[in-house]
């Protein structure tokens, strides 16, 4: 087992204990998260290596591909280890051209949960995030009452263990929490993009996990001379520094960096051992200050 164990743990919904270093499966689908990967065996190898290294939190969705990443997870890892927590997402569907479309009606919520159960080969989904689609490039205001209520009904029927939210505003988190227990929030956040700072602190107080998507910058990974300088000083890579910063930022942050490469996976999972000294944190704060000023 690698050092994943040393990243610490967090308990989702009181009963699903995950290590803070997890894995996001989106990069395993084909280009544009549409269609199959060029090398399916390589994708299966990444998933198996992640779990063999101690990862027990995998993020996915049936709309990645669509169906592709869930089918790869099923093929690589089923029957699943008891401690493996697979977190999936609903709320969107793919157009024939690969576009991302909202799928928020109760009928679509029910169909999406059944699609995920089928493609993952599970009787009950561990955690389902409702992905809000009000904003294209970030959260947008709008009521999520109807889809969250539909999901809560599926939870009562025993098809969903826990519910989370994604791409949401603080007001939507509050709206969701009035309907059912919310165990995690998955929004865009990283060392250079810190719009959710206040939300993270509030969720930490409520013992709700915050799971940043695009922890490494997403489709165009982070590039910053500040990040590279810190990495050089610490004998690490810029991506490792970006992940170590997130681990240090708050105890309720869970990491799901995405990669289709075994070498990158190993690099990412090694960060549990990387301690950031205070002067490195101060240097990294300047990256966010620059980004905010440019925004
Ligand atoms: N809720 C949502 O709306 C939402 C949106 C986006 C993503 N997500 C979830 O969040 C997870 C993480 O986000 P993400 O995968 O989009 O972005 P990410 O983790 O920020 O970055 C992934 C990109 O970084 C590259 N990469 C990974 N490790 C690297 C390393 N050590 N050195 C250099 N490059 C590296 C990957 O390329 P290689 O494949 O070449 O390594 C890929 O291009 C996804 O897998 C998905 O499960 C959720």
Q: Which atom of ligand 1 is nearest the CA belonging to 215?
A: 20
CA-based torsion, 260, 262, 265, 267: positive or negative:
negative
- 64 given a catalytic annotation: yes
Sheet of strand 85-90: strand arrangement: 23-24, 57-59, 85-90, 125-131, 160-166, 182-186, 209-210
184 Cα: distance to centroid of ligand 1 (angstroms) = 19
Let me know if residue 19 belongs to a domain: yes
Q: Per the residue annotation, which of 23, 63, 64, 80 is the catalytic one?
A: 64
- Rounded distance from Cα 293 to ligand 1 centre (Å): 25
How far is residue 120's CA from residue 214's CA, in Å, rounded to a whole number? 23
From the CA of 220, give the closest atom in ligand 1.
43
Residue range 139-149, pLDDT digits in tens = 999 999 999 99
For residue 292, being part of any structural domain is answered with: no
Question: Is 289 a member of any domain?
Answer: no
| Gap from CA of 25 to ligand 1 centroid (Å) | 8
- pLDDT value at position 294? 52
**Domain containing 10: what range?**
3-222+252-272
Q: Is 24 in the pocket of ligand 1 (CB under 6 A)?
A: yes
pLDDT score at 137: 80
User: Do residues 41 and 33 lie in contact, with contact meaning Cβ atoms separated by under 8 Å?
Assistant: no
pLDDT tens by residue, the chain, 295 residues? 568 999 999 999 999 999 999 999 999 999 999 999 999 999 999 999 999 999 999 999 999 999 999 999 999 999 999 999 999 999 999 999 999 999 999 999 999 999 999 999 999 999 999 999 998 789 999 999 999 999 999 999 999 999 999 999 999 999 999 999 999 999 999 999 999 999 999 999 999 999 999 999 999 999 999 999 999 999 999 999 999 999 999 999 999 999 999 999 999 999 998 999 999 999 999 988 766 555 4
Report how far ligand 1's centroid is from the alpha carbon of 50 (Å).
14
Report the CATH number that the domain containing residue 12 is assigned in CATH.
3.20.20.100
Which residue in the block uniquely carries the two structure tokens 């969250």? 148
Residue 282 within any structural domain of the chain: no
Is 281 a domain residue?
no
Of all protein residues, the one whose alpha carbon is nearest to atom 30 of ligand 1 is 264
Tell the residue nearest (CA) to atom 38 of ligand 1. 259
Whether 227 is covered by a domain: the verdict is: no
267 Cα nearest atom in ligand 1: 31
How many domains in the chain? 1
Residue whose Cα lies nearest atom 10 of ligand 1: it is 213
């Amino acid at each position: 087992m690698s050092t994943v164990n040393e990243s610490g743990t967090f308990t989702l919904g009181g009963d699903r204990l995950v290590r803070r270093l997890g894995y996001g499966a989106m990069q395993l689908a084909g280009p544009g998260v549409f269609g199959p990967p060029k090398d399916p065996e390589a994708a299966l190898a990444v998933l198996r290596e992640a779990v063999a290294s101690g990862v027990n939190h995998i993020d996915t969705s049936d709309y990645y591909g669509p169906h592709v990443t869930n089918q790869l997870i099923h093929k690589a890892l089923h029957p699943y280890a008891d401690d493996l927590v697979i977190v999936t997402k609903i709320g969107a569907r793919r157009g024939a051209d690969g576009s991302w479309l909202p799928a928020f009606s109760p009928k679509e919520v029910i169909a999406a949960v059944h699609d995920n159960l089928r493609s993952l080969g599970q009787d009950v989904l561990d955690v389902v995030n409702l992905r809000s689609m009000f904003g294209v490039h970030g959260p947008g205001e709008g009521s999520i009452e109807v889809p969250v209520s539909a999901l809560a009904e599926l939870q009562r029927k025993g098809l969903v263990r826990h519910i989370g939210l994604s791409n949401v505003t603080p007001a939507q988190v509050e709206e969701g929490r009035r309907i059912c227990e919310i165990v995690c929030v998955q929004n865009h956040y990283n060392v250079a993009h810190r719009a959710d700072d206040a939300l993270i602190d509030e969720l930490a107080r409520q013992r709700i996990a915050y799971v940043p998507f695009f922890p490494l910058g997403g489709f165009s990974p982070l590039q910053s001379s500040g990040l590279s300088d810190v990495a050089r000083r610490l004998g690490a890579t810029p991506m490792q520094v970006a992940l170590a910063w997130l681990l240090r930022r708050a105890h309720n942050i869970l990491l799901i960096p995405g990669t289709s490469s075994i070498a990158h996976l190993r690099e990412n999972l090694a960060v549990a051992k990387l301690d950031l000294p205070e002067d490195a944190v101060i240097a990294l704060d300047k990256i966010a200050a620059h980004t905010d000023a440019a925004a």
